[in-house]
Homo-oligomer: A and B are copies of this chain.
Amino acid sequence: MAEFVEFLADLRPEVERALDRLLPAESARPARLHAAMRYSVFAGGKRVRPALVVLGGEIYGAPRETLLPAAAAMEMIHTFSLVHDDLPALDDDDLRRGRPTVHKQFDEALAILAGDALLNHALLCLAREPASAPPAVRARAVAVAGESVGSTGMIGGQVADLEAEQRWPDDPAGALEWIHRRKTGCLLEASLVLGGIYAEVSEPEERRLRRLGAALGLLFQIGDDLLDVLGSTEELGKTAGKDAAARKLTYPGLYGVDESRRRLRGVAAEALELACELPRRQDTLRSLIHYLGERDR
């Protein structure tokens, strides 16, 4: 587990630099919009999605510098989703990572528009950067990212999640899987696949990355659900037990803590098997899987 934590710590300054370089300067007009974009992006996230982009690429031998723009772009997309999810009309959260959410720090209109601008800027960066990448790689990168974000991906998952809150679904187990796979899974999966795109992987290699990415997404989500039940507000930087209070669909809510942990271990075992088939970065992947599988301890 130390290995992935070190990988994340080593990578972090490179990701921050890429984000800083790619985001519009705060001095550029309109300054308040650019300030809001930067406020939300530089809020101390763990940069898990950028790490997955870099891992996905390094597994198949892509040089790191070709991966950093896409790593930054996926973090912008993740940030856009947080800014909009926090809005009063959606999850209505005042705090994010221990700081006021964007609509609290600025205002609601700016939070909506800053979110829009982050999503747009992310896809724009993928279309342009790195300029050295073949245009076919850049066009495909936009497609892979866009599919993961879209109405049948992350945004679709968010809509279904809000619907399940309003009306408890007839098939809660099916709904839980559908929603989690999209709401969190799609973006994590796409991050790993995206890395492979810059290594110009074959179709079977891309499918392998996608299967591993899907397993990582599930690990992440079950772990998050468990953390919400078991963690303290301090550790989370958000209000603990919020999911249960809102009667959201979660693994522990549906299956209990013990069964959720059992599933977490099952998915971790599956992910470890998939990781063994890959040509590089096996140790980092193994350590990542342990990291995701044991976040609730």
Contacts and interface: CB of A to CB of B under 8 A. Distances in A.
A142 interface: yes
A129 B123 CA distance: 16
State the main secondary structure of chain A at its contact with B. Answer: helix
Contacts of A89: 107-109, 112
A159 B110 CA distance: 7
A179 to B, nearest CB: 10
A128 interface: yes
B134 A121 contact: no
Contacts of A136: 135
A206 to B, nearest CB: 16
Interface in A112-156: 112-113, 115-117, 119-121, 123-124, 126-128, 134-136, 138-140, 142-143, 146-147, 149-152, 155-156
Given A127-B143, A135-B135, A143-B128, A30 B159 contact: yes
Interface string A18-34: 00000010001110111
Contact of A163 (B24, B32, B126): B32
Q: Copies per complex?
A: 2
Contacts of A121: 146, 150-151
A159 B127 contact: no
A139 B159 CA distance: 29
A90 interface: yes
Contact of A112 (B33, B112, B120): B112
A178 B29 contact: yes
A84 interface: yes
A106 to B, nearest CB: 10
Given A89-B112, A90-B113, 18 more contacts: A29-B160, A29-B178, A32-B159, A33-B151, A33-B159, A87-B112, A115-B116, A117-B155, A119-B119, A120-B149, A120-B155, A121-B151, A123-B123, A123-B124, A123-B146, A134-B135, A135-B136, A135-B140
Top 6 A-B residue pairs of the complex, sorted by shortest distance between their CB atoms? A124-B146, A127-B142, A135-B136, A89-B108, A117-B151, A138-B139
25 contacts: A24-B150, A29-B178, A30-B160, A30-B163, A32-B163, A80-B116, A84-B113, A89-B107, A90-B112, A113-B155, A113-B158, A116-B116, A117-B150, A120-B149, A121-B150, A123-B146, A124-B146, A124-B147, A124-B150, A126-B142, A127-B140, A127-B146, A128-B139, A135-B135, A135-B139
Interface of A: 24, 28-30, 32-34, 37, 80, 84, 87, 89-90, 107-110, 112-113, 115-117, 119-121, 123-124, 126-128, 134-136, 138-140, 142-143, 146-147, 149-152, 155-156, 158-160, 162-163, 178
